[in-house]
Amino acid sequence: MTADPLDPVIHAPARLRIVATLAALAEGDSLSFTRLQNMLELTPGNLITHLRKLEDAGYLITETTGNGRASRTSIALTPRGRAALATYADALRDLLGSA
């Protein structure tokens, strides 16, 4: 079984969980960095690494408001990211269906 048709940006455990979690929100909504980190039980550094990869691909946007300890980072899936997850899920189904 090959994983070639699967989007490599999403096809990683942590990033798949990040995208799937954000996709559960209503379109246009965002999630705080802290809540996302708690839900996925990832370290801040690890989460940041994966968020950057997803952001570079245009799958999500992050926004930081405030300064210092009062700063708040929120993350939202872009329409492109939502479409990429749907395509990824379809590709998974095709792969498993033909296996």
Partner 1 sequence: MQRPLDNDETTTDGDGDELDPREAARLLAQTEREARRQFNLSPQWINAVMGAVILVAYGSLWLSTREQHPYMGPSLGVVALVYVGVVVAFAVSVKVYRRATAGVSGPSVRQQQVEGVAILVSFVLGSPVLQGAMHHYGASNAIVYGVIPAAAPLIIVGTTALGIAASKADWPLFGAALAVVITGVVAAFVGPSGAWLAAGIGLFIAVVGYAAATTRLDRPVPRRA
Give the one residue of 58, 71, 79, 83 binding partner 1; rule: CB under 8 A. 71
As given in the structure block, the two tokens for residue 46 are 């690890």
User: Interface with partner 1 includes 45 (CB under 8 A)?
Assistant: yes
- Nearest Cα to Cα of residue 54 among 87, 30, 19: 19
What are the residues facing 62 on neighbouring strands?
75
User: Interface with partner 1 includes 96 (CB under 8 A)?
Assistant: yes
CA distance 51 to 41: 14
- Site residues for partner 1 per CB under 8 A: 1, 3, 6, 8, 11-17, 20-21, 23-26, 28-36, 39, 42-46, 48-52, 62, 64, 71, 73-74, 76, 86, 89-90, 92-93, 95-96, 99
